[in-house]
Amino acid sequence: MPQSISLQTALLALSLTAALADAADFDCVMDPRQVIEVRSPVEGVIEKLTVDRGDFVNKGQLLVQLDAAVERASAALALQRFQLEGAVRSGESRVEYSSKKHTRQEELYKQNFISAQARDEAATERKLAESELKEAVDNRRVAELEYKRQTELLRLKTITSPLGGVVMERLMHPGEVAEAGVGRKPILKIADIDVLHVEVVLPVEAYGKVKVGTKVDVIPDAPVGGRHPAVVSVVDRVLDAASGTFGVRLELPNRSRNLPAGMRCKASFASIGDDVPVRMGASPKAAVKRTVAPAAK
Is the peptide bond prior to 223 cis by the omega test (within 30 degrees of 0)?
Answer: yes
Q: How far apart are CA 149 and CA 141, in angstroms?
A: 12
- pLDDT number for residue 91: 83
Q: Where are the domains of the chain?
A: 23-33+193-289, 38-66+157-188, 70-155
**pLDDT single digits (tens) 109-143:** 888 888 888 888 888 888 898 888 898 888 889 98
Q: What local confidence, expressed as pLDDT, does residue 102 receive?
A: 84
CA 83, CA 195: separation in Å to the nearest integer?
Answer: 48
Give me the pLDDT at residue 67, please.
Answer: 93
Rg (CA), the chain: 36
Q: What is the pLDDT of residue 109?
A: 81
The answer to whether the CB of 247 falls within 8 A of the CB of 286 is yes
pLDDT tens by residue, 211-269: 999 999 999 999 998 999 999 999 999 999 999 999 999 999 999 999 999 999 999 98
**Hey, which of 3-7, 10-14, 135-139, 252-256 has the most confident mean pLDDT?**
252-256
Cβ(214)–Cβ(234) under 8 Å? Answer: no
Closest CA to 147 of 55, 220, 82: 82
* C-alpha of 213 from chain center: 25
Contact between 30 and 257 (Cβ < 8 Å):
no
How many whole angstroms separate alpha carbon 132 and alpha carbon 94? 9
Q: Please report which confidence band the pLDDT of residue 8 belongs to, taking 50, 70 and 90 as the band edges.
A: very low
Confidence of residue 13 (pLDDT cuts 50, 70, 90): very low
- φ and ψ at residue 219, rounded to 5 degrees: -120, 100
Four-way CATH pick for 38-66+157-188: 3.40.50.970, 3.40.50.2300, 2.40.50.100, 3.60.15.10: 2.40.50.100
- Per DSSP bridges, beta strands 44-49 and 62-66 are antiparallel
The answer to whether 23-33+193-289 and 38-66+157-188 have equal CATH topology is no
pTM of the model: 0.66
Interatomic CA distance for residues 136 and 132, integer angstroms: 6
Instruction: Kindly report the CATH number that applies to the domain delimited by 23-33+193-289.
Output: 2.40.30.170
Q: How much is the mean pLDDT over the chain?
A: 83
- CA–CA gap between residue 80 and residue 17 (Å, rounded): 78
